[in-house]
Amino acid sequence: MIARYSLAEMSNIWCEEKRFNIMLNIEVAVLEVLSERKIIPKKDFEEIRNKIKLDINRIKEIEKITKHDIAAFVDQLSESVGCDAARWIHFGLTSSDVLDTATAIQLKLSCELIIKKLEILLSILKKQIKKYKDIVMIGRTHGMHAEPITFGYKLAGWYHEMLQHLNMLKYVKYIVSVGKISGVVGTYSQLSVDIEKKVLKKLGLNSEPVSTQVVPRYRYVYYSTALANIAASLERFATEIRHLQRSEVMEVEEEFTKGQKGSSAMPHKRNPVGSENICGLARLIRGYANVSFENVALWHERDISHSSAERIILPDISIATDYILYRFTHIIKNIVVYPQNMLYNLSKSYNTFYSQTLLSELIKQGLTRIQAYQIVQSIAHKAILDKKDFIELCVKDKMLTKYIKPERVKHLCSIKYLLRNIKQKFDEIL
């Protein structure tokens, strides 16, 4: 991922040096267990542990000859030890024992970091829900006025959605925290099942129940699709902010800091660039998730058609998701809300958003739904076209007041009445 969209902590998990160091730790962990089982002499293990040293530049030099990155990695480690004990390095292992186990550690660390970011976002959303739970705004469907909601209630939906992603990612962390030390086709021909379990326990991982030469890639699909789902939700929220910040609406706005410029040409511009950025990167993340599905089908016990793709998609999808979570959290924390504009926009409906309430009341009074709908629709359309208050028209309409008394109409046509039941939902969330 390019530096523009990379944060240090996640980038460090997926950097070349970190990965090689994880691979080194795996090799040492295997040797330690082999020493404990007396398969290799303890003194040889101690000598290896004291002398072994990673040199990434040297690995790349060797790889020019070997045309194999893990073979070059093993050769460089052996060179660094420089004695007879070096023969034990990579003993009984195949490349994927190291590669897939290293990936499992990186995925586990990535899950933990994203989980932490989700928890921060949830705590900020909860604070904003409390702050804006009574700020009334129009709810929209098809981009058109529907019925009133509150801005806090909109945020409450976002909160619950992200809470589900948090719970799912905790499960995904368990799914991907799986390595293998089972050999060239997963049959433990050189090292035992017990050795694998002990090595992976030292590394904080579980064992793949039945591996081939690789950990099956369906596990990575769980990870990538979980991140794509998080990104899809953030895109939904960001799209809403973009709509609400439009000049014709202007109900909320991203923070515009001192010295910031919205346009190189138009000084008046204050654009929702953070939300737009999130929407763009969400497309990228979904694309990477699609590639992870393609990596599941491999020839026989393994080929490397997945390898080149994973070198790109796993770091990038992790770094991009981490970035947009960070950016959206900043947007929500500093969101600017305009309650007066919300009330002004609410007035543009001429109170026609009470139509369903009166429809329901007419049905309760014994009218068929078609009859009730025709009565209310006629009044509502007149209010919109003539720019008249819907409630006033209803009170004066003889057909409607034949079934609902004017004072009852006024009682039903109130924001308090429409929103009387959402308090329970706030209580459940907060």
Supply the range of the domain harboring residue 354.
349-429
pLDDT digits (tens, 9 = 90+) for 187-212: 999 999 999 999 999 999 999 999 99
Proportion of the chain above pLDDT 70, given as a percent: 100
Proportion of the chain above pLDDT 90, given as a percent: 93
Q: Are residues 173 and 254 in the same domain?
A: yes
Q: Is the pLDDT of residue 134 over 90?
A: yes
Q: Are residues 254 and 374 in the same domain?
A: no
- Spatial CB neighbours of 210, under 8 Å, sequence gap ≥ 6: 186
Q: Are residues 128 and 155 in the same domain?
A: yes
Q: Are residues 119 and 186 in the same domain?
A: yes
142 is catalytic: yes
pLDDT digits (tens, 9 = 90+) for 245-260: 999 999 999 998 888 8
CATH number at residue 210: 1.20.200.10
Q: Are residues 33 and 105 in the same domain?
A: no
Active-site choice (68, 123, 189, 263)? 263
Q: Are residues 261 and 353 in the same domain?
A: no
CATH number at residue 359: 1.10.40.30
Predicted model pTM? 0.94
Q: Are residues 307 and 396 in the same domain?
A: no
Q: Are residues 147 and 287 in the same domain?
A: yes
165 is catalytic: no
Give me the mean pLDDT over the 32-57 stretch: 97
Question: What is the number of structural domains in the chain?
Answer: 3
Residue 186: the pLDDT is 94
Active-site choice (142, 247, 268, 300)? 142
